[in-house]
Amino acid sequence: MTHARLRSEDPELEHETHSGLPSLVLAALGVVYGDIGTSPLYAFREALHATAGSGSHRDTVLGILSLIVWALTIVVTVKYITFVLKADNRGEGGTLSLMTLARESLAGRPVWVLVLGVAGASLFLGDAIITPAISVLSAVEGIQVVAPALSAWIVPITLTIIAVLFFVQRLGTGGVAAVFGPVMALWFLVLGISGGFHILDDPAILWAINPIHALHYAANNIGITITVLGAVFLAVTGAEALYVDLGHFGRRPIVTAWFALVFPCLLLNYFGQGAFVLSNPHMAAHPFFGMHPDWAKIPMICLATAATVIASQAVISGAYSLVRQAMHLNLLPRLQILHTSETHSGQIFMPQVNFLLFIFVAVLVLYFRNSSGLSAAYGIAVTGEMLITSVLLYVVMLRIWNWTAAAAAAVVIPLVFIDAGFFVANVAKFADGGWVPVAVACTMGLVMQTWMSGRRLLAARTKRDEISLDAIIDKLAQKKPPTVPGTAIFLTSDVEGAPTALLHSLKHYKVLHEQNVILSVVTATTPFVSDSEKIFLESFNPLFSRLIITFGYMETPNIPRALVLVRKLGLKFDIMSTSFFLSRRTILPSKKGGMPFWQDRLFIMLAQNAGNATDYFGLPTGRVVELGLQTVI
């Protein structure tokens, strides 16, 4: 028996770009900061609405602005920019990457970390359906300021924009993304200029930078502080996108964009809205659009709509990436993935995910009909995900960064306290719409739990019925069946047992190919795997070899492309004379199974709608042989 791996001099797959920092900063503006960059459209307005006229007008505005300023400073600048962005998994970010990082660092890979990761991913998907709805709706609502008579057209226009946005997803984001950065750069500059100009309406608004105003407001308005905090949190929704998109740009461009443009312009605009409202209390209902002169209102509505579409695009792309990660980590069934770029593997389109997102977003717009109603639904998912991030960050600080427990607690406990405060504030909006992302997250969590449990049961049933590969090889060595020319590759998820497809092939055909390869595809806990670590080849005898191909969870598992690497290890074959044997299982429910009967049916439905292995692994369709069998779970 011989083993072989590729030599280490094979170049490692690099997941980074060699573009210059300015171009990366510009690109990060378009993708990373779209969501948080459109928050000024509704965050300050909703916080004012939440006060219901309590307290003196000046104290209220200063208190709310102080809360917004320090929320941006602590949640985004301190938590995400300073700490979370450093917790990357080989350059990749996001809840599942952080979960994988934390779980691998703990002995026994505890289940509670996996549960947190699944919960965080589910909450992100709950947030992903609200962002396009509230962002586009809040921008189109600017029509009310310019032409109140057209208010009835707000929902139809919003639905039209959203429909077009989801329809063009199949065309790829490469060409559109080229204008994302410049448009968002213009958006932030306009935010800063318009806000800075209106600070002159009441320069004393700058005193809101003093946190005493936030504390004083909270102490004097205890009865409504929770409600106001729920609205203030709208200013930092989108902060999680900094971490999710870490792998696309790297930490430095994201940090540079925040300090050089995004943070200053957001502060200027919020201060400007505050000064404008102090000078024009009657415009508190629409401070963002109201503070622009009449000639600029229509251009601002157009620019705001473009910015919200870009913000929505970032969340949609993030949902694709998250679902793909979940698929590769076996948290979700295989779904169809279409690549929309020949040069960027991250640019993908998932038809099923796109369709479901569109349906949910359209239903939300029709149900709530205005961004104020949707703001109640916004927040629970994001705050829940932020809480999970803080807990997992503590594990990474202890186990990977080797911080002392006291040092890690000194950083994380205040962050958890703030996250928990925002979470409680948003839970208070549960009945008014907060149930929407919770329902979506719970549904996704149930789907993931069902898929994982079903796969475990299926693997146990299959393993019980299988014969070990060594026993099969020994038996065939003693009584060798007739052989036919060519190579047969038998795919199996069990690296130890004999593939079911091999057993059925022998049973029906009673022949072997002159070269038989038992192939297992493994997903690593790292986002990318270098060529030098991707292939493991084990030769049992001239007839049989075992091949294990390892892909990172961010990679597309293309078997024919990986087989090119196998040639370097001495396994000679012609891909066009190679047959791929797969098992196609028909799963039947059992009344005495390991899951409730209804969950068995759900698992079976998921399995039936999963993408087939031929497409998922990029196998040549004319060279695939599928052998069917039934399995009761």
| Long-range pairs, 458-461, Cβ under 8 A, ≥24 | 458/585, 458/587, 458/631, 458/633, 459/493, 459/494, 461/631, 461/632, 461/633
Helix (H, G, I), strand (E, B) or coil at 519: strand
Query: What are the structural domain ranges in the chain?
Result: 21-452, 467-632
Cα 132 to Cα 367: distance, rounded to the nearest angstrom: 14
CB 312 within 8 A of CB 136: yes
**What integer pLDDT is reported at residue 390 of this predicted model?**
94
CB 37 within 8 A of CB 182: no
pLDDT in tens, 493-530: 877 777 888 888 888 888 888 888 999 998 887 888 88
In DSSP notation, 107-152 reads: TT--HHHHHHHHHHHHHHHHHHHHHHHHHHHHHHTTHHHH-GGGGG
Give Cα separations from 530 to 10, 11, 173, 481, 533 (angstroms): 8, 7, 27, 39, 5
Which CATH class, in words, describes the domain spanning 21-452? mainly alpha
% of the chain with per-residue pLDDT over 70: 92
What is the amino acid identity at position 236? Answer: V
- The number of beta carbons lying within 10 Å of the beta carbon of residue 127 is 29
Closest CA to 462 of 421, 499, 506: 499
What does the chain come to in residues? 633
CB 508 within 8 A of CB 522: no
User: Any idea which of 18-32, 99-113, 218-232 has the lowest mean pLDDT?
Assistant: 18-32
In DSSP notation, 229-254 reads: HHHHGGGTTTTHHHHHTHHHH-HHHH
Tokens of 304: 């705001």
Closest CA to 550 of 568, 569, 537: 537
Cα 314 to Cα 450: distance, rounded to the nearest angstrom: 29
545-570 CB burial, b ≥16 within 10 A, e <16: bbbebbbbbbbbbbbeebbebbeebe
Cα 448 to Cα 552: distance, rounded to the nearest angstrom: 20
Is residue 633 very low, low, confident or very high in pLDDT (cuts 50, 70, 90)?
low
**What integer pLDDT is reported at residue 83 of this predicted model?**
94
Give Cα separations from 526 to 84, 120, 222, 520, 551 (angstroms): 18, 18, 46, 18, 9
**What integer pLDDT is reported at residue 465 of this predicted model?**
66
- Would you say residue 13 has pLDDT above 50? no
- Would you say residue 340 has pLDDT above 70? no
Q: Where are the beta strands (DSSP E) in 68-224?
A: none
**What integer pLDDT is reported at residue 52 of this predicted model?**
67
pLDDT in tens, 455-506: 888 877 777 766 777 888 888 877 888 888 888 999 888 777 778 888 888 8
Give Cα separations from 265 to 47, 268, 303 (angstroms): 19, 5, 16
Is residue 10 very low, low, confident or very high in pLDDT (cuts 50, 70, 90)?
very low
How high is the mean pLDDT of the chain?
Answer: 85
Average pLDDT over residues 586-599: 76
Gyration radius of the chain over CA positions: 28
Helix (H, G, I), strand (E, B) or coil at 408: helix
For the domain 467-632, what is the CATH code? 3.40.50
Helix (H, G, I), strand (E, B) or coil at 571: coil
Is residue 366 very low, low, confident or very high in pLDDT (cuts 50, 70, 90)?
very high
DSSP 75: I
Is residue 8 very low, low, confident or very high in pLDDT (cuts 50, 70, 90)?
very low
Cα 334 to Cα 328: distance, rounded to the nearest angstrom: 8
- In the sheet that 512-523 helps form, which strands lie side by side, from edge to edge? 2-5, 535-539, 544-551, 512-523, 483-491, 578-588, 624-632
**What integer pLDDT is reported at residue 341 of this predicted model?**
59
| Long-range pairs, 444-447, Cβ under 8 A, ≥24 | 444/121, 444/122, 444/125, 444/126, 445/118, 445/119, 445/122, 446/602, 447/332, 447/602, 447/606
330-358 CB burial, b ≥16 within 10 A, e <16: bbbbbbebeeeeeeeebbbbbeebbeebb
H/E segment holding residue 74: none
pLDDT in tens, 522-575: 888 788 888 888 999 888 888 888 899 999 887 888 888 888 888 877 777 777
